[in-house]
Structure 1
Amino acid sequence: MIERTMRTYQLKGMIIHLCHLAGVSKSGYYKWLSNGEYRRESERQDEQDFQLIEHVFLRQNGKAGAQTIRMILENDEGVIMNLKKIRRLMRKYGLVTKVRQTNPYKKMAQATQEHKTCDNLVNREFDQGEPGKILLTDITYLYYGKGHVAYLSAIKDATTHEILAHYVSTSLKMDLVYNTLKNLFENGFEVPLESYFHSDQGFHYTHPEFQKEINEQGFTQSMSRKGNCWDNAPMESFFGHLKDEVDIKSCHTIEELNSLINEYVLNYNISRYQWTLKKMTPNQYRDHLLAA
């Protein structure tokens, strides 16, 4: 285009003067001119690669970052793409990931005097290199339909990131955590030696009867420090992603909500590639550890 402009307006004799004004050398200008075909080919390649990135990005509802896109491209599409290149193209074409805002830590009801807390034995050492050694659990609020509220209780393997059990209810009664625990064992979970059951200091987990049940099942109970959400960060992270990615408010009944949560948990376990799991899904990483 520049070369054509030079010819059109008969500016060829002014090249030295124009280069001086632009702050470039004459040789640099001619080198840039001779590399035109390379630049056009590079631009075509960028456009092709961006189409792959954009396809994954849109499929993830605009909530996939560069690392997630790279893992999906590699695992689902068989395309190996440099992480720096993905970030460069996202910047170049204005692809901005929707960032999940940190949710405030939600406290459960204050425990009564007979409820006893436990020490933080996990101490944020979540990855034990062995499935089932540390189970994390928590409860979160789900606002659906027109002003309805439900509660989701879940249990997560801290090492593999699998959601091993979950239960949705419209009640915060103790059945919420008991049914979650029941689902854990109905799903075939076997308690390993020296395994920990980690939670916050909420009413349910400090309840004497629940603590007795946990102990009888063979777990050692551990609890986060009061008001410190980082002590149970992987569980908080799962709830945050779920609320960010699932259209909870579109559900009109508890049955619809339960079905939606079931589908999300299933896909999370078998389809969600995670950078910290060697770019595997939770189920793949569990099988990898068991085969090692």
Structure 2
Amino acid sequence: MVDKQVRGKYTLEYKLEAVRQVKAGQSGAVVAKVLGIPSSNVSNWVRLDAKGQLGGVVPSQKAPVVTAEQMELARLRAEVARLKMERDIAKKGRSVLCAGCAAKYAWVRQMSGKAWPVSLMCEVLEVSTSGYFNWKRGQDAPGHGPSRFQSDEALLAHMRAIHAEIKGEYGWPRMHKELLARGIRVGKERVRVLMQRHGIKARTKKKFVVTTDSKHHLPVAPDLVQRRFNPEAPNLLWSGDITYIPTDEGWLYLAAVLDLHSRQVVGWSMQPHMQTSLVKDALLMACWRRRPAKGLIFHSDRGSQYCSHEFQTTMKAWGISSSMSRKGNCWDNAPTESFWGHLKVACVLGQRFATREQARTAILNWMAFYNHSRLHSALGYLSPMQYEQRWLAAQRKNAA
């Protein structure tokens, strides 16, 4: 049995990520929705972080004296943060920097409500904020919305904006579905031809080094899944694995837990090492968030971290059964391998991270996008969150 007081916890890494998103400009409600937690938790964590108590450190009771040097330092930090935002906007919007106003407005609309304010995006792209809102009102007017027939130029503006937003991950089938999801009526053949004609294509994948250490004498669990990766409900079958991200500071190792019903990332941990605590923290994050009933199967490779006594004991405490793929057979954990491939295309290929923190931020932003927005072919071109929400709605309707 798992103690009830333990079940309500969240890992410190998870709390810090919520606070980081709020400090980056997101509202507490949006962060709570993205991370799938109550908004009151986010508010409490932000308050504790401001007091220096989020990590369990209690500050001095005496109020600190703010000096002129500290105020100037705070101003400089704010200016650096703004410059970083401008740099990121220019980097993500480079595909429309030399385009016309309509393409730039379309890109701003695609990105609005996410990481940056509309006024700053317009400033970096050298278009007026008032012009953007006038254009948006015209797009939203009856008979003039995005669902009307689009010229090739207007359609290309939308496709380039989407291509920049998802970092070149989509080929024409997903691009077509994404356009339809955004209310833009267009045929799939037209999308394919325009993308081919204008060089808009998905980034290709490459092979990466295997991180699995299966040369050990620890007990190995049988394969309970047998490549049956489509459970009928959430929290019946999870999968986990480890990958790595190169940075100038050294490797950053990422352990993730996927719920295979919706392919949603339900737990993760990033550390500069591959010790057992890496995979244990990822599993605990998933358990504390999802509160699975006994009988859940956790599928992984035969790596020493997953076979360790510490990790197996943690699973037993939660009533989770261990399942492991065959040695050297990546197809036995294909959904997770596919997830790594998409992440590497989005966050690693062509990127150079000076610090682990830069890599961590890029990965967290992409995983939030993956859970909430990225269309998944195995889910009928829905995002993992959309798929799970529709499934839950259908269950409530059938029970009524």
3-state SS, counterpart of residue 168 of structure 2:
coil
Provide closer, same or farther for how the CA distance between residues 45 and 256 of structure 1 changes in structure 2, counting only shifts above 3 A.
closer
Give 1:51 deviation, angstroms: 4.0
Q: Distance in 1 between matches of 2:331 and 2:285?
A: 26
After superposition, what is the alpha-carbon deviation per residue over 1:194-237, rounded to whole angstroms, capped at 9, x for unaligned? 32100000001111232222122111111111101111111111
The structure with more radius of gyration: 1
3-state SS, counterpart of residue 95 of structure 1:
coil
Q: Distance in 1 between matches of 2:200 and 2:216?
A: 50
**Equivalence map 1:233-272=2 (5 Å):** 233-247=334-348, 249-272=351-374
Tell me, yes or no, if structure 1 residue 126 matches structure 2 residue 232: no
Q: Distance in 2 between matches of 1:137 and 1:167?
A: 11
Q: Distance in 2 between matches of 1:203 and 1:67?
A: 39
**Equivalence map 1:194-273=2 (5 Å):** 194-247=295-348, 249-273=351-375
Q: Distance in 2 between matches of 1:51 and 1:264?
A: 23
In structure 1, runs of 5+ residues without a counterpart are 1-43
Tell me, yes or no, if structure 1 residue 67 matches structure 2 residue 173: yes
Residue type matched to 2:176 in 1? R
Q: Which has the higher contact order (CA 8 A, sep 6+)?
A: 1
Provide closer, same or farther for how the CA distance between residues 81 and 275 of structure 1 changes in structure 2, counting only shifts above 3 A.
farther
After superposition, what is the alpha-carbon deviation per residue over 1:172-215, rounded to whole angstroms, capped at 9, x for unaligned? 221111211221233x2122353210000000111123222212
Q: Distance in 2 between matches of 1:169 and 1:58?
A: 29
Provide closer, same or farther for how the CA distance between residues 224 and 85 of structure 1 changes in structure 2, counting only shifts above 3 A.
same
Give 1:88 deviation, angstroms: 2.6
3-state SS, counterpart of residue 159 of structure 1:
coil
**Equivalence map 1:58-137=2 (5 Å):** 58-75=164-181, 77-103=182-208, 106-113=210-217, 115-137=218-240
Q: If the length of structure 1 is used for normalisation, what is the TM-score?
A: 0.76
After superposition, what is the alpha-carbon deviation per residue over 1:23-59, rounded to whole angstroms, capped at 9, x for unaligned? xxxxxxxxxxxxxxxxxxxxx9545544433332343
Tell me, yes or no, if structure 1 residue 138 matches structure 2 residue 241: yes
Residue type matched to 2:171 in 1? G
3-state SS, counterpart of residue 299 of structure 2:
strand
Residue type matched to 1:257 in 2? A
Q: Percent identity?
A: 29
Residue type matched to 2:356 in 1? I
Counterpart of 1:29? none
Question: Size of the alignment, in residue pairs?
Answer: 244
Match of 1:276 among 378, 390, 393: 378
Give 1:111 deviation, angstroms: 4.3
In structure 2, runs of 5+ residues without a counterpart are 1-149, 395-400
Q: Distance in 1 between matches of 2:316 and 2:179?
A: 44
Q: Distance in 2 between matches of 1:265 and 1:56?
A: 17
After superposition, what is the alpha-carbon deviation per residue over 1:2-43, rounded to whole angstroms, capped at 9, x for unaligned? xxxxxxxxxxxxxxxxxxxxxxxxxxxxxxxxxxxxxxxxxx
Q: If the length of structure 2 is used for normalisation, what is the TM-score?
A: 0.57
